[in-house]
Amino acid sequence: GAVVSQHPSWVICKSGTSVKIECRSLDFQATTMFWYRQFPKQSLMLMATSNEGSKATYEQGVEKDKFLINHASLTLSTLTVTSAHPEDSSFYICSAIRQSHGDEKLFFGSGTQLSVL
């Protein structure tokens, strides 16, 4: 079954509105989660690293005031796209690191397809 749950799987919104995407680790605690964006036929681009209890680390070129990340608990990180515009339409994917017995494994959420009208 899914190890990382991402919700919603798709969302359509009007330009200027905000959209929140949730990423939950199931059955494990994730101090670090990652948010990616993928445009059609392009690769995943890392947007930011979400750290529980502290501010997210954003990649160069990603506006932190536009893409708000909150990692308030060890099992939940949220990405809020504020004042969304059509150019923000993309596939957003989260991932989380599960650490177990000295081993680390990365699991991806199912992704969220955002369409901004």
Residue (28 or 108) nearer to other proteins, CB: 108
Q: Which stretch binds other proteins (CB under 8 A): 16-24, 37-45, 63-71, 78-86?
A: 37-45
Contact between 49 and other proteins by CB under 8 A: the answer reads yes
Cβ–Cβ < 8 Å for 38, 90: yes
**Structure token digits, residue 50:** 């979400």
Contact between 60 and other proteins by CB under 8 A: the answer reads no
Number of H helices, E strands in the chain: 0, 11
The rounded distance, in Å, linking the Cα atoms of 65 and 10 is: 22
Binding site for other proteins (CB under 8 A): 6, 32, 34, 41-46, 49, 91, 93, 95, 106, 108-111, 113
